Chains A and B, each alone.
Chain A
Amino acid sequence: MIAVELRKLFRRPRTWAIIAVLNALPVLVAVLLVLTDLAPRPGEGPPFLSAVLTNGALYPLAALAIVLPLFLPIAVAVVAGDSVAGEAQAGTLRYLLARPAGRTRLLVAKLVAVLAFVLVTVVVVAAVGYLVGTTLFEARPGAGTSVSGTSLTAEELAVRTVLAVGYVGVSMLGVAAFALFFSTLTDSPLGATMGALAVLVTSSLLFTLDAASPIAPYLPTRYWLAFVDLFRDPILWRDITRGLALQAVYVGVLLAAAWANFTTKDVTS
């Protein structure tokens, strides 16, 4: 059943269209940077964007930082929100459930497909970012400077980049879990997607308010940018471990709720 869901997801032109659109923004930003040679001022703009002017090998990180606040979560919410509600809206859900595999297995298969989409999307953004960065900017793939001003070897840079890609992928699992849960509540994929995005907008807004600081450590978007901490020296694990734990809690609770709802709901379409 998992293989079926994966094939279905990645054979859809819509899936690849989403990934292509997602990559368009970092490419546009890179072209504008090359044409104008104007880096963001300190304290402004996404992380690592200033640094790519001197080392294009860092562009995968800048590309992830560009899509992370909005485009990437929207893409994940669209795909995850469609996973169950899309079947219900198309009238195919009850046929899927007619198979002897059971609802829990179907939910797991949908979940794995969404996880695969998240992983592929993040890796493609990083890979396209590397190609664009090393093509358009002066690249120094053999070395780099950490955020703390120390030198990083090529191996250290590569390992930390892989860890950052993995961390961003895990950060998106919370979005996927929200959208998948909402997808089991409604027959409207748009409703499920908008529900997940409403949670993220609320989280991002609350994070900027001092009055909400007591609940800030529990907001789903709180630690998304902690992948930057992988490039400090020594690595600052504090927010990274908290981010991983927070995503694990959200994913665990929301998947349990999705399971409790989906395995007992009346499916009529």
Chain B
Amino acid sequence: MASRARAAAPRWAVVGVVVAVLAALPAIVAALPVADDPVPAAELRAAVLASADVQFSGYAESAGGLALPVTDQLDAVADLFSDRTEMRVWWRGPDDHRVDVITPAGETGIHRDARGTWTWEYERATATRAAATPLALPAPPDLLPATLGRRLLSETADAELARIGARRIAGRDALGLRATPAEPASAVRQVDVWVDRASGLTVQVVVLGETSEVPALDTRFLDLELAVPDAATTAFAPPADARLRTAEETEIVLEAGRRLVPVPFPPTVAGLPRRTLEGAPPGIGLYGRGATLLAVAPVPRRLAEGLGRTLAQSPDAVVEGTSTRIAAGPVGLMLVDPRDAEPYLLTGTVTLDALVEAAAQLPVTRAQR
């Protein structure tokens, strides 16, 4: 028996060493140092803004931490910001790309061309055509690090930017850039953008709210290849047996917006200047810039009643008089439903105090058509 124990020891030692080496490998690879490059923040930002035409393919993952209280019609939008979304992307340009949302049992592919998008849903065997519009509901391509990084940095002032070192992401050396919104009304504490040193592509974006250490949104590439994708890969022709339909969701939202009677929005609310956005209905007031945005819209009473009930069900809801407000991470929502006027909704990446201040500065909306 003693001889067997002596024979066993070296064999178990070999197994132990193999297991230890394998277990330590991921940590060793992650700890490999990345040399920082003293590129100024403004120069790095300029590289990001110039990266729209960089062609690439890759695999990205977005994790949202926002439990948005929305109605059933906007479930897909809410899921984008509350769930983990895995995306496969081929990018030939802003008007020629393909983003597949990968699920274990299927996929939803969004193929962009010059005139609009085809959306292929495998499990429904449905191909949906949508015309290109300047304003559309958030979609998976908007959460790609490369797209979101450009969008967030496009309206950030140089004074709000700082460099935050370097790290390796998707096998590439990435330089860090931190945007800290200057507006006191902002509910976003910081936005960390990691930029591929060679191409200017954003490879990771992390958005942190004012009060939480858990990112409200973390989107990053897991694989990235800087090569021109094949045009045949981004193109789409519906299969012969697919159901064909035309997208209506965006049009329904825009039509609802067009039905709103324009109200005289003040030029500034809660310290945020009013802004314009191509395609936005005039009945909706938009304020702020960059990561600090606020939208104000009158809502039909029937919709307001349902929304009010949804908001009030949240344990964090603050109900005061005719208004109900909640914060979902850095996103605040406030429904004001005065008895003698039409209700209206304020929402954006601003604090609850800023929502209250903005509501007090708004004119009471007139009756809708």
Q: Tell which of B1, B4, B105, B239 touches A228, judged by Cβ atoms closer than 8 Å.
A: B105
Instruction: State in angstroms the CA–CA spacing of A179 and B64 once bound together.
Output: 38
Q: Is the CB of A147 within 8 A of B107?
A: yes
Contacts A47-B104, A256-B18, A260-B11 given: A236-B241 contact, CB under 8 Å?
no
User: 8 Å CB contacts to B: which residues of A40-59?
Assistant: 42-43, 45-48, 50-51, 54
User: Which partner residue on chain A sits nearest B5 by CB separation?
Assistant: A264
Task: Identify which of B116-124, B154-162, B202-210, B300-308 touches chain A.
Answer: B116-124
Binary CB contact string for chain B from 3 to 22 against chain A (1 if under 8 A, 0 otherwise): 01101100110110011001
Chain A residues, CB < 8 A from B8: 260-261, 264-265
Instruction: State in angstroms the CA–CA spacing of A259 and B8 once bound together.
Output: 10
Q: Does B242 contact A (CB under 8 A)?
A: yes
B172 CB to closest chain A CB, in angstroms?
16
Q: Does B59 contact A (CB under 8 A)?
A: yes
A82 CB to closest chain B CB, in angstroms?
23
Instruction: State in angstroms the CA–CA spacing of A256 and B241 once bound together.
Output: 51
Binary CB contact string for chain A from 136 to 166 against chain B (1 if under 8 A, 0 otherwise): 0000000001011111000000000000000
Q: Is the CB of A145 within 8 A of B103?
A: no
Q: Does B102 contact A (CB under 8 A)?
A: yes
Q: Is the CB of B14 within 8 A of A256?
A: yes
Which size class do A's interface residues fall under? 35 or more
B20 CB to closest chain A CB, in angstroms?
11
Q: Is the CB of A236 within 8 A of B121?
A: no
Q: Is the CB of A43 within 8 A of B239?
A: no
User: 8 Å CB contacts to A: which residues of B246-260?
Assistant: none
**Contact residues of B: prevailing secondary structure:** mixed
Q: Does B109 contact A (CB under 8 A)?
A: yes
Q: Does B238 contact A (CB under 8 A)?
A: yes
Q: Is the CB of B239 within 8 A of A145?
A: yes
Contacts A42-B121, A149-B236, A234-B233 given: A260-B14 contact, CB under 8 Å?
yes
Instruction: State in angstroms the CA–CA spacing of A210 and B64 once bound together.
Output: 12
User: Which partner residue on chain B sits nearest A214 by CB separation?
Assistant: B26
Q: Is the CB of B59 within 8 A of A238?
A: yes
Contacts A256-B14, A259-B11 given: A149-B238 contact, CB under 8 Å?
yes
Q: Does B183 contact A (CB under 8 A)?
A: no
Q: Is the CB of A147 within 8 A of B122?
A: yes
Q: Does B337 contact A (CB under 8 A)?
A: no
Q: Does A190 contact B (CB under 8 A)?
A: no
User: Which partner residue on chain B sits nearest A54 by CB separation?
Assistant: B241
Contacts A42-B123, A265-B4 given: A253-B107 contact, CB under 8 Å?
no
Q: Does A249 contact B (CB under 8 A)?
A: yes
User: Which partner residue on chain A sits nearest B105 by CB separation?
Assistant: A47
Q: Is the CB of B120 within 8 A of A149?
A: yes
Q: Does B223 contact A (CB under 8 A)?
A: yes
Instruction: State in angstroms the CA–CA spacing of A150 and B127 once bound together.
Output: 12
User: 8 Å CB contacts to A: which residues of B185-220?
Assistant: none
Q: Is the CB of A47 within 8 A of B106?
A: yes
Instruction: State in angstroms the CA–CA spacing of A147 and B18 once bound together.
Output: 39
Q: Does B125 contact A (CB under 8 A)?
A: yes
Instruction: State in angstroms the CA–CA spacing of A249 and B18 once bound together.
Output: 10
Chain B residues, CB < 8 A from A43: 103, 105-106, 123
Q: Does A257 contact B (CB under 8 A)?
A: yes
Closest 3 CB pairs of A and B: A264-B8, A42-B123, A260-B11
- Beyond the given pairs A148-B107, A253-B18, 11 more chain A to chain B contacts, judged by CB atoms under 8 angstroms and listed by A's residue number, are A42-B106, A42-B124, A47-B104, A47-B105, A145-B125, A145-B242, A228-B104, A228-B105, A238-B223, A263-B7, A265-B8
| Residues of B near any A CB (own CB < 8 A) | 1, 4-5, 7-8, 11-12, 14-15, 18-19, 22, 59, 84, 88, 100, 102-107, 109, 120-125, 127, 222-223, 233, 236, 238-239, 241-242
19 cross-chain CB contacts under 8 A: A43-B123, A65-B105, A145-B239, A147-B122, A148-B107, A148-B122, A149-B236, A232-B100, A234-B233, A236-B102, A238-B223, A253-B18, A256-B14, A257-B15, A261-B12, A263-B11, A264-B4, A264-B5, A266-B1
